[in-house]
Amino acid sequence: MVFYVSIASLIAVGFSYIGIYKSNELKQRKNCRPKTLVIIPCKGLDLGLEDNLKAITKQNYDRADYLGVVDSLQDESVSVLEKVGINYIISDYTCEKCSGKVKAIATAIKKYTDYDAYVIADSDIRPNSNWLEDLVSPLCNDRVGLSTTFPYFVPIGGLASKVKAVWGTVGQSLMESKLTRFGWGGSLAFEKSLISDKMDYFTSNISDDSALTAICKSKKLDIAYVKEARPAIYTAENFPQFWEWANRQTALSINASPRVFTYGIIFYSLYIFEFFSAVLLTSISLAFVYLFIPVAIGVYRVYERSVIKSPIFAIIYLFIPFIYLANLLKAKRMGEIIWRGRQYKLQKILDP
């Protein structure tokens, strides 16, 4: 019994520290304004696409151009790009193993070379007017290779969309530590020099953010996380759609770094063990109520990271470790993914 309590207590201390710890961020230079091309890969009609595109282009930044990239003139997004007044091109870069998004980004970079920096903006984000300035600012630090953020999800559907909103706060927690930080492809800024000598590597990958993260790390550069640049993503998924999305995100993460699976299984298994230990031991004696501290910190962090707050988030948070564990187990067995209507085979990612 003493050994069991000691193990549970030690795990509780560890998770409490993880819940509290945040890496110190590099200071941003607000006068940093490199000439920037914002690349917006578009395919189909994302939820609120017109409002998203308007928000992306209405920035307090006078040294930026905005470019949509589509697969064909028949794509449904073309009429919206024209209505908002965004120039667009057809994706035509030649690459065999790349995804449609990687192909779109490579097409833009190849054709538009007269820029100091590039920003990838997913067409489902809805940022504020300072998003671009905040996102680009860290690039003036020579130690920074990528500048990124992570979205907050605005649930406008049923319970599944609220689960996704809480699921997303875990992604934000990964960004707050340099050990687990990655470049999120929905809002990602980098200088031309980062990728100019790595285009062959970049275009041999399915995931743009995994490839750019690997390139950044290979050059021993930092990834800056800019919380102020978090965009909104409006979500109305049902449970099958959420499950497919969460498994795809997890599969791409595992494919980029197989350690994600090992660490994830250990982390969430221990968390579940600690949670049930807290329930069991507290039912015996209230003296063990301190074992719920990691859960309390977790709920607090969800509310801190959530722009849209709801009491149900606290309840959903209790189930997130089980959902993540299920995502990891499912994603590990996935040999291919379906992304934007296309099927991609997951292949081992080599070092740049």
- Tell me: the pLDDT tens digits for 130-145? 999 999 999 999 999 9
Three-point CA angle 183, 188, 194, nearest 5°? 80
pLDDT at 138: 94
Residue 342 is predicted with a pLDDT of 83
Give the pLDDT score at 175: 87
Q: What is the pLDDT of residue 149?
A: 95
Long-range contacts of the stretch 319-326 (C-beta < 8 A, 24+): 319/163, 320/166, 320/167, 320/170, 321/268, 321/271, 321/272, 321/275, 322/268, 322/272, 323/163, 323/167, 323/246, 324/167, 324/170, 324/250, 324/264, 324/268, 325/264, 325/265, 325/268, 325/269, 325/272
Q: Which residues contact 202 (CB under 8 A, 6 or more apart)?
A: 102, 105, 106, 195, 208, 211, 212, 215
So what's the pLDDT on residue 170? 81
Q: Give the pairing of strands 187-191 and 117-121.
A: antiparallel
pTM of the model: 0.92
| Calpha distance 141→333 (Å, rounded) | 40
Question: How do residues 120-133 score in pLDDT, each as one tens digit?
Answer: 999 999 999 999 99
Say what the pLDDT of residue 332 is: 93
Low-confidence ranges of the chain (pLDDT < 70): 22-30
| Cross-strand bridge partners of residue 235 | 155
- For the chain, what are the domain ranges? 2-21+255-333, 36-149+184-225
**Confidence (pLDDT) at 25:** 62
The SS3 assignment for 207 reads coil
CA 89 → CA 12, 22, 63, distances in Å? 53, 41, 20
Burial of 294 (0-12, 13-18, 19+ CB in 10 A): buried
- Cα gap 139→235, rounded to integer Å: 30
- Give residue 22's pLDDT: 66
What pLDDT does 296 receive? 93
Q: What is the CATH number of domain 36-149+184-225?
A: 3.90.550.10
**pLDDT for the residue numbered 286:** 93
